[in-house]
Structure 1
Amino acid sequence: MKIFLIGYMASGKSTIGRKLSQELGVPFIDLDKYIEEKYFKTIPQIFEQEGEGAFRKKEQTSLKEVAEFENAVIATGGGAPCFFDNMNVMNQSGLCVFLDVDAEELASRLMQSKTERPLIKGKSPDELVDFIESMMAKRRPFYEKAKCILKGKDIQAEDVIAEMEGEK
């Protein structure tokens, strides 16, 4: 059993992924952390030193590697579904779940987050909502290729498990 969690940053991929892996008794993999450990560089370092194209290629290779694992809950980076054949890889390898959270909620979570996110640094709350809406307009066609879409601001691990049971 493999579950891929996709969605915009702060949609809950890592938080829900960790809870889901505990409840299902399978490993949790944060794809960005997997890439950082594999290449001995942070994601910002890869972007800065090698450019986005090189990062996306590393991301694709890493996604294909984790897609071969037996059992896992995998949280991807927000952009991963939008490149190459990544959505096909996820949909063919396991259950791909899009955590669809509205822009205002995402902006609120990101403003409260202690995590450094270069894409949104220095933006006001209004600018952040506009930025998220613009990015989501580009990413949504990819995200919506997921086998399962969970919508709302209070998505829980139990919601994903219910979807899995519906898939059987």
Structure 2
Amino acid sequence: MKVALVGPRAVGKSTLGAAVADRLGWPFLDTDHELARQVGQPAGEFLASRGEAEFRRVEARVVLAALATPGPAVVALGGGAVLSPDIRVALAVEGTFTVRLEAAPAVLVRRIEQAPGTRPALTDLPLAQEVEALCARRAAQYREVSQDSLETFPANVDACVVALLAKIDAASRAS
């Protein structure tokens, strides 16, 4: 089984994905980190220097490869990965359990502000407006690809890990 985590930036995909993979004894694949490794620079720098079209092309290649790896794994996708029709199709493959992580835009803004420079701006809008706009624009795709959802605030990381493990267990028993 593959567990794919989708949702906006700063929602907790990398943090929860790594913790859940560790608890399951499965590999954890963070597609933003893998993209950075492949292009030789942080994902945000690559996006800024090469543009969104090239970033999305490389991102799609990285995500599709991660989802195609044999065996179980937890895969954290970048916030905009669901914009790719090919990725949305790959997430629908039997054996992939996709969970939509959610938090209010104000929570995401706070998290982004607590780690300045780690998450690139994607528009010229002020941060709060950008987060609100991107969440609204991508909401339909997040819902389309996910079989379940998990609110990541106000729960702490440990509570979210337990809840996510329970969802994975239920999905594996149902398949």
Question: Shorter-chain-normalised TM-score: which range?
Answer: 0.7 to 0.9
- Pairwise CA RMSD of aligned residues? 2.2
Q: Give, in whole Å, the separation in 2 of the partners of 1:50 and 1:122.
A: 17
Q: Give, in whole Å, the separation in 1 of the partners of 2:58 and 2:51.
A: 11
**Moved beyond 6 Å, runs of 4+:** 120-123
Q: Give, in whole Å, the separation in 2 of the partners of 1:99 and 1:25.
A: 21
Partner residue in 2 for 1:141: 140
Q: Give, in whole Å, the separation in 1 of the partners of 2:20 and 2:88.
A: 21
Q: Give, in whole Å, the separation in 1 of the partners of 2:50 and 2:139.
A: 27
Written as runs of structure 1 = structure 2, the 5 A alignment for 1:28-43 is 28-43=28-43
1:7 to 2:11 alignment: no
Partner residue in 1 for 2:100: 98
CA contact (8 A) 1:91 1:147 kept: no
1:166 to 2:165 alignment: no
Q: Give, in whole Å, the separation in 1 of the partners of 2:134 and 2:123.
A: 15
Written as runs of structure 1 = structure 2, the 5 A alignment for 1:42-57 is 42-57=42-57
Determine what percentage of the aligned residue pairs are the same residue: 26
TM-score (ref. length: structure 2): 0.84
Q: Give, in whole Å, the separation in 1 of the partners of 2:42 and 2:114.
A: 22
Q: Identify if the C-alpha distance between structure 1 residues 111 and 121 changes in structure 2 by more than 3 Å, giving closer, same or farther.
A: farther
Candidates 107, 110, 113, aligned match of 1:108: 110
Partner residue in 1 for 2:21: 21
The Cα shift of 1:157 comes to 1.4
